[in-house]
Structure 1
Amino acid sequence: MAHLLEGNFGQGSGFNECLSEHVLLTRFGIGINDPKWISIRLSLFKSITLPGVVSQNTSKLGWFIFIDSSWPSEFISDILLATKDFEFIKIIKVNFYFEYYIISEKLIAKSIDFYGRCLVSKIDDDDGISLDCFDVLYDLRGDFFACVFSSGYEFLCQNRIFKPSNMPFLTMNTHFDMRSLDDLKYLRIGHHRVAEFIDKERRNLHVQDEGRFWVYSRHKYSDSRFSAVRKSIVDDKKSRVISSADYHHFSIDFSLLQEFRSQSALLNGVPNEKTWLRQADLNEEAEKIYRQLVSMKRVIDEVGADVIQ
């Protein structure tokens, strides 16, 4: 079954077992306490993201889903119930956004130390991947430091419309074959700057042009510019209604998607606030204090607690 872990900056016995050749990371609503937002995103997670990942070859996979510790209990129970049958899934409760990076770096570092390398991928809580995504990725492994699956679909969820898109360096289509602790810095690089850093460091980049490997969900609770995005999809001549083959290829759960559509139809308007900026000041101050405590501990370990006293 899926395990619920208290973040605690990656401390605790539960994290000792988290060794994976392939680490998949998901940030799910850290710093967001809006019940409407959580409910809508859980519907999409269960209909698109979860079925897409569990349909992969998961023998090497560890999927770590980070949620906010302040979520109402019913939502925590919901995600635990949805993921309970999959041993490779860990739900991690955190108090601050920056804990995601601290814990992820520790998880990947342990796997690099154990296996000599670690394949690292990310996926947002409302996006999807194709049935063959990880198999193709594993076949390519060894030929790249970073691999990008450039082609996929933008998905207007409420209208069930697919628009073919070529958008390299999105969260769910960029993968890293990390082999040293220095590679961990790529976790904190915005996806839109990955190409710049890879070029600067002369790392090997593979761009996979053939095939469509991802679904980029577009809905009221995904983008503050939703109205413009919606129009660009509806007006595009290449856009089409999702087909039964699409449902199969991306493992999208039809009945659960219908549940989302019914739920979304009851919501008026679109959130104007960029949800990922919530509690930014508090998060920054908390990380500053955490860094100070880590430095103090390092001094104590080096010179001894008795000397400090």
Structure 2
Amino acid sequence: MAATEFLHVLSTRVGIGVYDEGWFDYRLRLFESVTVPSMAAQTSQDFTWLLVVDAKMPPRARSRFDAVVAPLANVRVREVEFKTDFRGAVVEWCQAEAARRGLSRVLTSRLDDDDALRVDAFERLQSEAADAIAAGHSDLAVFSLNLGCMWSPSHRRGYTRYHDSHSLGLSLLEPAEAVECVYSRPHREIKQRYAPRGAYIRGVDGGTRWWLYAAHAIADSDKGDGARRDKILKHRYGYHLDDDLLAGFGLDPAAVAALAEAGEPTPTAPTKFLSLRAMETERRIKALRTELAGASFLRRRLLTQRLARLESEREKAGSGIVTR
């Protein structure tokens, strides 16, 4: 199903606010071995993959990132300065691109940079969106892929999980002139927030596992206690991800084996909510910059000093995440 009636944009943030080369060493290995092949193998390539990165990504990491995504014709890279700029960058790009193409609707989907979707996931989501439009539900519609696999790439073990508002593949269809994008609400809340506005809510159920959610030492959801990994390894109904299962997500078993052989880094502290770390510092920096624009000479000196301290604090929060 070609997304001819709407613009389909998958948006992913890649290391915004992270300045640790060691973190990128493993995270980009996951990105290259899991996420990129999954997207390259989608049976419908009628989507744009908007990758939002930090303008100050460490040079070695940026070179590697650029090389990994270079072969993908539907990738667009957008640089931002702050984590808090992410959603605005997605909204702005979607509105401009929809206007350029003359499209009145936008379907935004979300995916993290260490996870994967089944190769026909976008074909299904686009078909669901087209059906919603045909049925007159095009003002607002939320789509979720409810069944997937929690897995440990290092152990190639997983178990099947149901979640009626999981982040992976979660999508929002809306008018182009009023785009808020799928990141407008936390993934667990988006259906509840849009339902009162008359949104069409569609969860894809059944027996198909649509996503692979990776558990590893530097996952944004990792509490540092190994509980998520242990649950995967010891789950009563756990299983080995065989070659056929991996192929259904576009993954090469040899690349997954190499990923496991490389081993996971050791975090210096739990990485849970890493994507939210130092966001208050960012807000303070933005507020000071606004104040600086209209400040007197003496006031500017003081504000400049405060800014320097906050910017140093922000960079420190994104450094030293893993041990070398």
Q: Quick one: distance in 2 between partners of 1:91 and 1:100?
A: 12
Q: State the Cα distance separating 1:83 from its structure 2 match.
A: 1.4
Native 8 Å contact 1:43 1:257 kept in 2 = no
Q: How far apart are residue 126 of structure 1 and its match? A: 0.2
Q: Is 1:214 matched with 2:217?
A: no
TM-aligned CA distance change 1:227 to 1:25, over 3 Å: same
2:165 — aligned with what? Answer: 169
- Partner residue in 2 for 1:272: 270
Alpha carbons 2:37, 2:251 under 8 Å: kept: yes
Q: Does 1:120 align with 2:101?
A: no
Structure 1 residue 290: Cα displacement: 7.7
Aligned to 1:110: 96
1:69 to 55, 69, 91: 55
Give the match's secondary structure for 1:205: strand
Match of 2:36 in 1: 50
User: What residue in structure 1 maps to residue 244 of structure 2?
Assistant: 245
Contact 2:21 2:60 in 1 (8 A): no
1:202 to partner: Cα distance: 2.4
Which segment is superposed worse, 95-104 or 239-248?
95-104
| Cα RMSD (Å) | 2.4
Q: Return the alpha-carbon distance in structure 2 between the equivalents of residues 197 and 289 of structure 1.
A: 33
Mapped contact 2:154–2:260 kept (Cα < 8 A): yes
Q: Which structure 2 segments of 5+ residues have no match?
A: 1-5, 293-324
Aligned to 1:33: 19
Partner of 1:282: 281
Secondary structure in structure 1 of the residue aligned to 2:188: helix
Q: TM-score, normalization: structure 1?
A: 0.81
The one-letter amino acid of 1:60's match is D
Specify whether residues 92 and 183 from structure 1 end up closer, same or farther in structure 2 by C-alpha distance, changes over 3 A only: closer
Residue aligning to 1:16:
none
Could you report, residue by residue, the CA deviation over 1:220-267 in whole angstroms, capped at 9, with x for unpaired residues? Answer: 1111245111222222121101111111101113233233223325x3
**1-structure distance, mates of 2:238, 2:166:** 20
Question: Which residue identity does 2:35 align to in structure 1?
Answer: T
Q: Work out the CA distance in 1 between the residues paired with 2:114 and 2:55.
A: 20
State the 1:288 CA deviation: 4.2
Matches of 2:33 and 2:116 in 1, distance apart?
A: 9
Does the CA contact (< 8 Å) of 1:28 and 1:68 recur in 2? yes
The equivalent of 2:147 in structure 1 is: 151
TM superposition shift of 1:183: 4.2
Q: Which amino acid aligns with 1:219?
A: H
**For 1:115 and 1:290, how far apart are their aligned partners in 2?**
36
Indicate conservation of the 8 Å contact 1:126/1:217, yes or no: yes
Once structures 1 and 2 are overlaid, which stretch shifts more, 120-129 or 78-87? 78-87
